[in-house]
Amino acid sequence: MSAHTVAELMVARLAREFTDGTRAFNGAASFIPVAAFMLARATHAPGLTWCSGSIGVDAHPEAISASTIAAEMWEGATMLQSSPHDSWPYAGFGRLDTFCFRGVQIDPFGNVNNTIIGSHSAPRVRLPGGGGMADLGCLLPNVYLWSTTHDARTFVERLDHRSSMGWGDGGDHRERLGLPGGPRLCVTNLAVLDFHPESHRMRLQSVHPGVTVDDVTAATGFDLVIDGDVGETDPPTVEEVDLIRRLDPTSMRDLG
């Protein structure tokens, strides 16, 4: 068995973004982000706040379950927030600030489609729908994206449907709409991408060990911003891998 899997690298890389000041919550089927919140809290960010499934405040589940919105995931919580109206308003002044999305399609500005491939009049693939993406993408200043399928079908120039607002049409689009922050980072199975500070177009930050810049550009359906040297993503430490495997003994992270 290799020292770590790609999913473990993604968890560890995402976890490094979070700090003691992070106030995070999560949605459905969010195994990699949940593992990252738990890993960050168990290592460098013990003060991180995580509302499990948006419901269980500061939960300490034994292990990641087959649903990331499930009662076994809010064991040990200090409060169960019993309605979106009990928790989402705390985003208003940034007292909740962090969420992670994945998308079946992601565009250069970090907008996400999880609704439909094709059009509503002629759908080719019906997807689950955006859930609260359209809401939290507008309300929260810190959105992180992840994808386990970095290919030209996922990373597309134009979405078939914009389920959530990232940097919108780029530039100051969010600011014009009065929206805070925006997508910070996108962690994929090949690379780590951030966003150019002015155009807000996706920029290649690092490639994972064994992956080349050409591999990433070939797997991306739009032109990435590449300025300066592209580094290599730091692999997880032995301690991090060990912790991830204990937090997620059934490898739910392999589902993304």
Partner 1 sequence: MLGLGGLMMTGAPNRFCRELIRAGRTDLELVVMTGGMNVDWLVAAGAVRRVLTAIVSFEGYGLAPNFRRAVERGEIAVEDWSELTMLSAWRAATMGVPFMPTRAALGTDIAAGLPERMWTSTDERSGQTFTACAPLAPDVSVIHVHEADVLGNARVDPKLTWIDGELAKASRRVIVTAERIVDTDIFRAAPERTAIPGYAVDHVVHAPRGAWPSAMMPDYQHDAGFYRSYVAAAKDPGAFGALFRTLVA
Binding footprint of partner 1 on the chain (CB under 8 A): 28-29, 31, 55, 65-72, 80, 82-85, 88, 111, 115-116, 120, 123-135, 137-139, 161-165, 168, 173-174, 177-179, 252, 255
If the CB atoms of residues 55 and 204 are measured against partner 1, the closer one turns out to be 55
- Helix 6-15 to helix 31-42 angle (10° resolution) is 60
State the CB neighbour count (10 A cutoff) for residue 210: 9
- Helix 31-42 to helix 238-247 angle (10° resolution) is 120
For residue 161, what are the CA distances in angstroms to 6, 86, 105?
A: 29, 30, 9
Q: What are phi and psi of 195, to 5 degrees?
A: -125, 135
**Beta carbon of residue 12, minimum distance to partner 1 (angstroms, whole number):** 21
If the CB atoms of residues 29 and 45 are measured against partner 1, the closer one turns out to be 29
CB 117, CB 125: distance < 8 Å = yes
**Beta carbon of residue 137, minimum distance to partner 1 (angstroms, whole number):** 7
**Beta carbon of residue 207, minimum distance to partner 1 (angstroms, whole number):** 27
**Beta carbon of residue 70, minimum distance to partner 1 (angstroms, whole number):** 6
If the CB atoms of residues 69 and 106 are measured against partner 1, the closer one turns out to be 69
If the CB atoms of residues 195 and 205 are measured against partner 1, the closer one turns out to be 195
If the CB atoms of residues 21 and 84 are measured against partner 1, the closer one turns out to be 84
**Beta carbon of residue 205, minimum distance to partner 1 (angstroms, whole number):** 24
In whole angstroms, give the CA distance from residue 241 to residue 256.
16
DSSP letters along 56-116, please? EET---SS--S-SSSGGGGTT-SEE--SHHHHGGGGTTTSS-EEEEE-SEE-TTS-EE-SE
If the CB atoms of residues 117 and 225 are measured against partner 1, the closer one turns out to be 117
Residue 233: both structure tokens together: 């993503």
Residue 144: both structure tokens together: 């992180």
**Beta carbon of residue 208, minimum distance to partner 1 (angstroms, whole number):** 23
